[in-house]
C-alpha cells in the first residue's frame, strides 16, 4: 500500500497536528526545535535524559490499541522515567517507524495522542524522524530538568530503615489489558470502573508532579513501575544494595482488578505485583518524612501507601503472597509475556 504523503509532507503534517493538540512550540531555553539537523537548547541546572520504545506486537496490538493511544503511551512511558528522577519534563524527540497498511490519518491520530499529552505537561516535541519499518513503532527520548544534582532522586539511595511507599493503586494496566482482549470478563463491573482499567492500559499518566513532590519531600530512591512491582523493586534493591521487603496485603489494588482477576481465574496479586505498566512511583523515604511526603503527593491528587520497608541485605522479599505469584514478579523485555502483558 502506498502512502499519499511523502516523508517530508508527513513530517510537516505530524508537526502541525502536534501543535494543534496544544503542545508548546518551544519551552524556556529551547532555541531551535524540529526542522534542522538537530535541536538547540540551553539548559540550566541539570538535564535528565531517558529513552523508551513501544513496538507493535511486543508492547501493543491494534486493535485493541488505537493509534491515538500508542502516541500517548509512548510519550507517557518516557516521561514516567523523568518522573521517577524527580525531574520536570521539558523536551521529547520522537522516532516513528511506519509499517505498510498504516494510513496517514492513523499517523495523524497518533500525533494527536502524543501532542495532547505533551500539551498537558508542557513538553516541546523538539525533533523527530520518520522511517518505514515492519511494525508500527515509536522510540521516544525525553529530556527533563532539575535544579541541581542534589534535587534528582536515583535508584541507589535507599537505606536500611527507610519506608517503602507507592503512589496510587496497582494492577489496573494488567487488568485493563485483560478486559481489552476479553471484554466479556468485565460483564460484572460497573462501567466507570471498567473504563478506568482500560484507560490505565491504553493511556497511562506520567506522574511528573508526584515525582517532583516526592523528591522535595525527601525520597531517598525512586523508580517508576513499568516492569512490575516485584521486578522494579528488585532494580531499586540492587542499585541501593539493600533488601526491599514488600507486604503483599498492603499493596493498593485498583478498583475492579480483583473482580477481573477472579473472572479470568488469575490471582489479583499477579496483576498488581507482576503486571507492570501502571507507571506509579515506588519510593523509599525516612520514616520521619512520611507525613510530609503523603501531603505532597495528596496535593497531586494521589494517595501514598506504605507497602514495606528497606533492610540490610539484597533482593526483594514479598511476604503474605502465594508462592505462585512470585515467578511473574518481573517483566523481561526479551522473554514471552507474563499474564496480563501484551
Stretch 135-194 residues interacting with a second copy (CB under 8 A): 135, 137, 139, 141-144, 146, 149, 152, 154-156
Residue 255 Cβ, how far from a second copy at the closest point, in Å? 28
Closest to 281 measured CA to CA, from 200, 197, 221? 221
Phi, psi at 247, each rounded to 5°: -95, 110
Residues 238-267 that bind a second copy (CB under 8 A): 239
Residue 46 Cβ, how far from a second copy at the closest point, in Å? 5
Residue 154 Cβ, how far from a second copy at the closest point, in Å? 5
Q: What is the dihedral of CA 335, 63, 8, 142, to 10 degrees?
A: -50
Identified binder of a second copy from the candidate list 25, 28, 132, 182, rule CB under 8 A:
132
Residues 285-314 that bind a second copy (CB under 8 A): none
Report the chain's C-alpha Rg in angstroms.
Answer: 20
Residue closer to a second copy by CB (options 265, 335) is 335
- The whole-angstrom separation of Cα 255 and Cα 234 is 26
Identified binder of a second copy from the candidate list 115, 128, 186, 340, rule CB under 8 A:
128
Residue 191 Cβ, how far from a second copy at the closest point, in Å? 34
- In a 13 Å sphere around the CA of 190, the CA atoms on its Cβ side amount to 5
Residue 42 Cβ, how far from a second copy at the closest point, in Å? 5
Residue closer to a second copy by CB (options 37, 288) is 37
Please state whether beta strands 221-224 and 281-285 pair in parallel, antiparallel, or not at all (unpaired). Answer: antiparallel
- The whole-angstrom separation of Cα 169 and Cα 251 is 8
CB 167 within 8 A of CB 281: yes
Identified binder of a second copy from the candidate list 162, 224, 267, 277, rule CB under 8 A:
224
Identified binder of a second copy from the candidate list 265, 288, 301, 334, rule CB under 8 A:
334
Residue closer to a second copy by CB (options 25, 31) is 31
Q: What is the dihedral of CA 151, 309, 281, 237, to 10 degrees?
A: 80
Residues 23-82 that bind a second copy (CB under 8 A): 31-32, 35-43, 45-53, 55, 57-59, 81-82
Residue closer to a second copy by CB (options 149, 249) is 149
Residue 33 Cβ, how far from a second copy at the closest point, in Å? 10
Contact between 6 and a second copy per CB under 8 A: yes
User: What does the DSSP 8-state code read for residue 273?
Assistant: I
Q: What is the dihedral of CA 8, 10, 16, 22, to 10 degrees?
A: -130
- The whole-angstrom separation of Cα 118 and Cα 22 is 8
CB 223 within 8 A of CB 235: yes
**How many residues contact a second copy, by CB under 8 A?**
72
Closest to 257 measured CA to CA, from 167, 174, 166? 174
CB 180 within 8 A of CB 52: no
Residue 284 Cβ, how far from a second copy at the closest point, in Å? 14
Identified binder of a second copy from the candidate list 88, 95, 167, 328, rule CB under 8 A:
95
Residue closer to a second copy by CB (options 81, 270) is 81
Identified binder of a second copy from the candidate list 129, 190, 262, 303, rule CB under 8 A:
129
Residue 269 Cβ, how far from a second copy at the closest point, in Å? 22
Amino acid at each position: 500500500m502506498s502512502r499519499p504523503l511523502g516523508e517530508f509532507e508527513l513530517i510537516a503534517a505530524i508537526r502541525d497536528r502536534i501543535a494543534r493538540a496544544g503542545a508548546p512550540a518551544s519551552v524556556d531555553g529551547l532555541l531551535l526545535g524540529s526542522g534542522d539537523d538537530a535541536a538547540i537548547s540551553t539548559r540550566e541546572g541539570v538535564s535528565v535524559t531517558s529513552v523508551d520504545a513501544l513496538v507493535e506486537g511486543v508492547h501493543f496490538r491494534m486493535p485493541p490499541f488505537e493509534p491515538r493511544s500508542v502516541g500517548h503511551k509512548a510519550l507517557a512511558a518516557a516521561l514516567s522515567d523523568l518522573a521517577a528522577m524527580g525531574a520536570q519534563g521539558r523536551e521529547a524527540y520522537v522516532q516513528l517507524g511506519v509499517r505498510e497498511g498504516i494510513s496517514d490519518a492513523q499517523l495523524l491520530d497518533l500525533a494527536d495522542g502524543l501532542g495532547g499529552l505533551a500539551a498537558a505537561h508542557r513538553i516541546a516535541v523538539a525533533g523527530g524522524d520518520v522511517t518505514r519499518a515492519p511494525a508500527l513503532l515509536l522510540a521516544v527520548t525525553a529530556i527533563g530538568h532539575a535544579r541541581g544534582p542534589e534535587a534528582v532522586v536515583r535508584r541507589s539511595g535507599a537505606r536500611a530503615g527507610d519506608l517503602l511507599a507507592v503512589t496510587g493503586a496497582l494492577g489496573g494496566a494488567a487488568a485493563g489489558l485483560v478486559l481489552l482482549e476479553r471484554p466479556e470478563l468485565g460483564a460484572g463491573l460497573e462501567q466507570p470502573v471498567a473504563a478506568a482499567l482500560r484507560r490505565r492500559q491504553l493511556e497511562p499518566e506520567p506522574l511528573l508532579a508526584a515525582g517532583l513532590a516526592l523528591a522535595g519531600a525527601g525520597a531517598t530512591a525512586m523508580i517508576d513501575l513499568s516492569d512490575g512491582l516485584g521486578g522494579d523493586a528488585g532494580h531499586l534493591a540492587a542499585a541501593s544494595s539493600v533488601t526491599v521487603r514488600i507486604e503483599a496485603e498492603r499493596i493498593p489494588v485498583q478498583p475492579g482488578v480483583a473482580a477481573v482477576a477472579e473472572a479470568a481465574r488469575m490471582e489479583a496479586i499477579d496483576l498488581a505485583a507482576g503486571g507492570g505498566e501502571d507507571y506509579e512511583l515506588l519510593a523509599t523515604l525516612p520514616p520521619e518524612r512520611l507525613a510530609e511526603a503523603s501531603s505532597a503527593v495528596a496535593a497531586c491528587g494521589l494517595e501514598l501507601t506504605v507497602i514495606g520497608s528497606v533492610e540490610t541485605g539484597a533482593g526483594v522479599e514479598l511476604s503474605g503472597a502465594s508462592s505462585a505469584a512470585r515467578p511473574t514478579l518481573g517483566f523481561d523485555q526479551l522473554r514471552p509475556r507474563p499474564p496480563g502483558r501484551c
